[in-house]
Each structure stands twice: as structure tokens, then as C-alpha cells.
Amino acid sequence: MKYKHLFGPVPSRRLGISLGVDLVPHKVCSLNCVYCEVGRTTNLTIERKEYIPLIDILTELENYLNEKPDLDYITFSGAGEPLLHNGIGKVISFIKENYPQYKLALLTNSTLLYDENVRMEILDIDLLLPSLDAVSDNVFKKLNRPNSKLDNSKIIEGMIKFREDFLGKIWLEVFIVPGLNDTKDELELLRNTINDISPDQVQLNTLDRPGTESWIKPITKNRMEEIADFLKPLPVEIIAKFQSRNKVKSYKKDVEQQIIETIKRRPCTDIDLSEMLGIHINEINKYLSELLLEGSVTSSQQERGTFFRAK
Ligand code: SF4
């Protein structure tokens, strides 16, 4: 079976071997973050609907999971906001009822957690990985460029309420963009707010490959360590570079080779590569990150997006 809505399993920085489930089409999102690694948001929305037929997602999951794959997590993620799919609760119940041996994780930008129905639908997951990059309205708008109907104070309130009802783990990610959310004022607001949310871990992240806007630069290691110290006693960690490919069971040398051979001939975007090679875009991105990290691939920002070429 050719899978359209499942990807991987991919090596994930935080989750080990993770099977991705993509519930919305590419770049259907409630935010348009300046650092987004999968390009600009093309549908900036907070409308929840069945973006992909539920039956298609369940059929793919059934086919894949019946083979009893060895996975650390099944993860709702992708190149958009998973909570925008109004069937996520049904997908969670389907997996929990039929394949209870698998742990479920959800990567979300948190924006829909203000909605009580959304919070109820995801109570059965094992691990929530929400994002919170800014507290002040001003920085939220500059950094995350939200849909105009979103109100950050309501989102934060929703996160606090979810923590009260949720029995699983919460690892909250803060993506640091120098010049935007690394000021003393914003960091103080973040520290107080995160304290109220009370996650099990706070994970600091920064750019490891080109973001949507070419002016975004990664923060230095020293500055990141200072920020981590500033946020203590919160349980802060700086997310390490992702697992070396040699240690990752699912890292496929032939996929890496196909990517390199393609971009040797001409520079391509991640979308081009995905279409040409018939590999899910998220999977392509994992390989590109690893190749960029080791320096065998370079990138440049052009009008149509970020282009990758082999060195
Ligand atoms: S980083 Fe996530 S939340 Fe932000 S625009 Fe990209 S997909 Fe949406």
C-alpha cells in the first residue's frame, strides 16, 4: 500500500523512532511562524474540519499497524497544525482501542487549546509537545504571525486548563529567535507563564536549517545556555542535535543517496524532492536536516522557497 498520510518511521530528536501521521494538507496552519522549516503557511486558518477523509487515515493506520512495526511513538505532526482536523479524537480512540501497545504523541502549536472540545478530544494521548514562543501580544504577532482571530492570553489559559485535566506528560517547546523573544522582558514573561502551565519539561530549540524568512539566524550555544539558566528552576533542557543517523534504525542510505543524486543535477526545494522521489515531505526534511548538519548539502533562499544543492 502506498501511504499518503503516514510518514517514516523517521528518526526524531525527541521521540526516537516515530511514525508520523499527517492530518492536514501541507501548510494548513493557524500560524505562519517566521522560523517555519516547511515554508510559508498557504492556508492561515482556525477552521476545524475533515481536511483529509477520516476513513483514508484509519485505513492507512490499520494497514501499517497490522504489521506490528517496532515504534517508540506514533506522532501527530506534519507540515501543518494537526488539531485543525476535527477527527483527531476519533483517530486517537481508534489507535488506543485497536493497538494499545503504541504510545501516542501530539506536536501542536497550542493555538486551539483554548477550545474545551479540542482539549477533551486529546486527553488520551501519552505525550503532548506544545509550543509557546511568546507571551506578549507584540512578540506573538511578529514571531508567530497568527490568524487574526487568535488571542494569545486565551491560548495560554487553555494550556493551563489542559495541564489540570491531563494525566500524560507535557514537553513544552520554546523556539528562540534572536532579536524577537530573547529579550529580558519576554523571557521573564515566558518564565512566569511556563511556571503556571507547569510542563514536565521545557525544551529550548533554535534553527538548524533555513527558516521561512532568510533573516532568521540561530542563536549561539552560549546565549542559549544563558537563557536556560535564566529560566531555571523550570525543568529546562536544550534540545540536542538529533540522533546520529548511524544509530537510527530507520535511516535509509538509499534515500539519502537518491536525494543527493537529485540535487547534484539541479537545486531543488523540499517539495520538489518529495514530488520527484515520491517520499513524504516530512521524511525528506529529516534527511535534509542531517545532510545540512554534516555539511554535504547547502541551502539558499530564493523566491520559490529554500533550495538545496549537493556540495
Ligand atoms: S512552525 Fe509549525 S506552527 Fe509555525 S507555521 Fe510552521 S507548521 Fe505552523
Residue appearing with cell numbers 489559559: 157
Residue type, 22: D
Q: Return the CATH superfamily for domain 6-244.
A: Aldolase class I (3.20.20.70)
Distance in angstroms (rounded) separating the CA atoms of residues 248 and 189:
38
Task: Check residue 243 and give its pLDDT.
Answer: 40
11 bridge partner residues: 17
Q: Write the secondary structure of 47-108 as one string of H (helix), E (strand) and C (coil).
A: CCECCCCHHHHHHHHHHHHCCCCCCCEEEEECCCCHHHECCHHHHHHHHHHHCCCCCEEEEE
Task: Check residue 209 and give its pLDDT.
Answer: 65
Q: Which atom of ligand 1 is nearest to the CA of 131?
A: 3
Distance in angstroms (rounded) separating the CA atoms of residues 2 and 5:
9
Ligand 1 mean position, distance from CA 263 (Å): 26
22 bridge partner residues: 77
What residue owns the CA closest to ligand 1's atom 7? 80
CA distances from 212 to 33, 37, 156, 179, 282 (A): 8, 6, 25, 16, 16
Whether 252-311 and 6-244 are alike in CATH topology: the answer is no
Domain range summary for the chain, segments of one domain joined by +: 6-244, 252-311
Ligand 1 mean position, distance from CA 46 (Å): 13
DSSP 262: H
309 bridge partner residues: 298
Task: Check residue 212 and give its pLDDT.
Answer: 65
Q: Which atom of ligand 1 is nearest to the CA of 32?
A: 5
Distance in angstroms (rounded) separating the CA atoms of residues 37 and 213:
9
The rounded radius of gyration (Å) of the Cα atoms in the chain is 19
> Which fold, 252-311?
Arc Repressor Mutant, subunit A (1.10.10)
Ligand 1 mean position, distance from CA 67 (Å): 32
Q: Which atom of ligand 1 is nearest to the CA of 78?
A: 7
For the chain, report the end-to-end CA distance as a whole number of angstroms. 35
Neighbours of 153 (CB within 10 A): 12
Cell readout for 159 is 494550556
Neighbours of 52 (CB within 10 A): 18
Distance in angstroms (rounded) separating the CA atoms of residues 113 and 84:
11
Q: Closest Cα partner for 269 from 288, 245, 296, 293?
A: 288
What residue owns the CA closest to ligand 1's atom 6? 36
Distance in angstroms (rounded) separating the CA atoms of residues 280 and 7:
6
pLDDT tens digits for the chain (311 residues)?
Answer: 788 899 878 766 678 888 999 999 989 999 999 988 888 899 999 999 999 999 999 999 999 999 999 999 999 988 899 999 999 999 999 999 999 999 999 999 999 999 999 999 999 999 999 999 999 999 999 999 999 999 999 999 999 999 999 999 999 999 999 999 999 999 999 999 999 999 999 999 988 766 667 788 888 888 999 999 999 999 999 984 534 444 444 567 778 888 988 888 778 888 888 877 878 888 888 888 888 888 889 888 777 778 888 88
What residue owns the CA closest to ligand 1's atom 1? 36
Ligand 1 mean position, distance from CA 9 (Å): 21
Long-range contacts, stretch 204-207, CB < 8 angstroms, 24+ apart: 204/173, 204/174, 204/176, 204/228, 204/231, 204/236, 204/237, 204/238, 204/239, 205/173, 205/174, 205/175, 205/176, 205/239, 206/175, 206/176, 206/177, 207/35, 207/37, 207/177
Ligand 1 mean position, distance from CA 248 (Å): 26
Residues with Cβ within 8 Å of 65's Cβ and at least 6 positions away in sequence, in order, are 95, 98, 99, 102
Ligand 1 mean position, distance from CA 66 (Å): 31
Torsion-angle region of residue 112: left (phi > 0), alpha (psi -120 to 50) or beta? Answer: alpha
Task: Check residue 268 and give its pLDDT.
Answer: 86
Q: Which atom of ligand 1 is nearest to the CA of 38?
A: 6
Q: Which residues line ligand 1 (CB under 6 A)?
A: 29, 31-33, 36, 38, 41, 80-81, 109
Ligand 1 mean position, distance from CA 212 (Å): 10
